[in-house]
Amino acid sequence: MTAQPGLPFGAPAARVDARAKVTGAARYAAEHPAEGLLYGVVVPSPIARGRIRSIDSRAARAVPGVVEVLTHENRPPMARFDLLHKDMDAPGGSPFRPLHDAQIHSDAQPVALVVAVSFEAARHAARLVEVHCTAERPRSDMQRLAIEARKPSRLKFGYQVPPKVRGEPEDAWDEAPVKIEARYRSPAEFHNPIEMHASTAIWEGEGQLTIYDKTQGAQNSRAYLARVLKLRKRDVRVLCPFVGGAFGAGLRPGYQLVLASMAALKLRRAVRVVLTRQQMFSFGHRPETLQTLKLACDTEGRLRSVVHEAVSETSRKEDYVENIVSWTGLLYNTPNLRLAHRVVELDRFTPTDMRAPGAAQGVYALESAMDELAQAVGLDPLALRLRNYAETEPGSGKPFSSKALRECYARGAQRFGWSRREPEPRSMRDGRTLIGWGMATGVWEATQIHGAARAVLRVDGTLEVGSATTDIGTGTGTVMSQIAAATLGLPLAKVDFSLGDSRLPMAPVQGGSFTVASIGTAVQAACLKIAAKLLLMARAQGDTPLRQPRLKDVEFVNGLVRLRADPSRSISLRELMQRAGAAEIEGKSLALPNLMKQRKYARATHSAVFAEVRVDEDLGLVHVTRVVSTVAAGRIVNPRTATSQIEGGVVWGIGMALHEEGLVDHRLGRVMNHNLAEYHLAANADVGEIEVIFVDERDEVVNPLGVKGVGEIGIVGVAAAVGNAIFHATGRRVHSLPITLDKVLGLD
């Protein structure tokens, strides 16, 4: 059975939740009403490292309307052992627990929660809490401390240990006729979604809580909270029907979740805690990295040696690691390869995943170095990449389940006009404006995680489908509805997809671009079980036009099930169910990845990014005027939402290249630009024309739907393409992000 032309699968459908969002009907975590609601405001630590001597809350408690001031001294009981409260996305080590003890581990750590009958009273009182500490000098300067880097010993789930050294990379580099060595820095970046971290915890009696949380995993938040506060899972319900952006910030439960829940348990009232924009800079971030690339090739541009070493930050409590260098072993053929990754412990909150974690930084360095090598050997940057194209996975020799990267290069170059590029730097200009063209490759993993779904078809033709997955603004609800509608041949308007509820069928956290591959497969499988039951009904009745149909011989179209060989022989789903006396039919599915099949292949999503910049020769101002992103991401369920995802990734990549940087005062261990006025993001004026092209791939190795995911790949390679374009425009190579005007002018 296959979806037919005209069905919603593959159509650019509008979001099913669009009206609710634009009219304000969609309620986010801090917008759900509750009887007797109290408001909590977090009191941050005044230091980055040390210990609390005392907390004086007398002035705060005297403010009218203040109900309680929670600290480590009067909080409800909390689990003692770290292993009891791991979350699904936790790195190895000892996770932070708010108000656990008097120790200060990072700047702006929550040390108290003021709870009052109004937000205004709580905010005012929070400023009156006096926190007396014994301070220690914090470790926050990663560049200075990089010499102390060590191998990570407590590995995060999904981290790929760099492979063994292949060949003799150092000797081959020494002997090669053409070689480059460069060091790249990417700074800490901070999540700034529109919706800030928020939790509304509602006391339901007898230790039961209903919580509306800003999260990318309702069941993950529930499991974490139950372990930390020693509750039964069945007594905790977490809901997140709408999420105002997350980008990885919501993968790990935020500390406001624990604080709101502790206050609700202690006071037996509903409590809401919303972090301020400044406090959003105190919970996770993209880690700062230092990377060294050594590339060598022969005189024709064939790679002879690749060495990629990365150092990234982690906290003292956990070993946070990302796959920074692994991508270098996937993209290009070389007989000699060495990859290494080390971490530096800092007195900062543990970093967390941010869109395309690891790849955003690692591919930036690799693709910048490839551009430098192209310049050194005298080859066009695209020609160098094609000359070293990997038809199979380097090292293992496994075939790719699908790889349309060559077509990405070809179509992107043609659309961008790459053949008209003048090779010499500073050779393209418009008066006093220098014009540069740069390109880069992108890569991301194609993964399926186990997940479940439930579907119920009713005799009136409506289909209810549900899974505990979330929608962080990517259009998940729309895509799942499309998959369900296509599978049973129903109009999209007849499908109601429920998500963001920990009581729904099991789902992993939403991240890594695996949600559609995982939950979409479960949705399809649940609907196929309904289809199979419908055909059993047809066989049992005997007098239907189908006559002993088999699933592979029929198709579901426009509310009908009909024979593929003879579409005139059909029956409506409504009539079939009425004949059988069935008011509804249920299908449940737990979709598991086919590991036996998958392990025989390398699986990845690929892209080619082409960028044009215009640089003011006198002022060093850079404007990205055009980006063409060509993506091979398997089957595209909804081109409209998928295009939006890639466009958003490109915008963020421009911000990574030119704007975003957390600036730390190392005397204080504090991020000083913790606001949207001084933490620069790409705005409308910074973004030119973006064109997205999808290259069709058919790949049923990754999952039965053949999808690979587009959430992460959009940002990968963009910063490198922009940086390479700036070099082409100016002849100046900048190795440190963001590329600000002082660096362009050589004043840094």
Q: E strand or H helix at 624, and its extent?
A: strand 622-632
3-state SS, residue 84: helix
Q: Is the peptide bond before 491 cis (omega within 30 degrees of 0)?
A: no
- Give CA–CA dist 594/38, Å, rounded: 48
- Give CA–CA dist 386/593, Å, rounded: 32
Residue count (the chain): 748
User: What is the C-alpha end-to-end distance of the chain, expressed in Å?
Assistant: 62
Q: What is the DSSP string of 388-409?
A: TB-SB-TTT-PBBS---HHHHH
List the one residue out of 590, 610, 620, 571 whose CA is nearest residue 739.
620
Check if the beta carbon of residue 407 is closer than 8 Å to that of residue 616: no
Burial 323-361 (b: 16+ CB within 10 A, else e): bbbbbbbbbbbbebbbbebbbbbbbbbbbbbbbbbbbbb
Strand partners, 428: none
Question: What angle (nearest 5°) sits at the alpha carbon of residue 395, between those of residues 394 and 397?
Answer: 70
Calculate the CA 423 to chain-centre distance: 36
In one-letter notation, the amino acid at residue 678 is: E
Q: Is the peptide bond before 738 cis (omega within 30 degrees of 0)?
A: yes
Check if the beta carbon of residue 651 is closer than 8 Å to that of residue 690: yes
Out of 195, 309, 322, 712, the active site residue is: 712
- Give CA–CA dist 284/243, Å, rounded: 18
- Give CA–CA dist 86/89, Å, rounded: 8
Question: What angle (nearest 5°) sits at the alpha carbon of residue 229, between those of residues 224 and 234?
Answer: 70
Active site residue 712: yes
Q: CB burial class (10 A; 0-12, 13-18, 19+) of residue 439?
A: buried
Check if the beta carbon of residue 69 is closer than 8 Å to that of residue 56: no
Residues with catalytic roles: 712
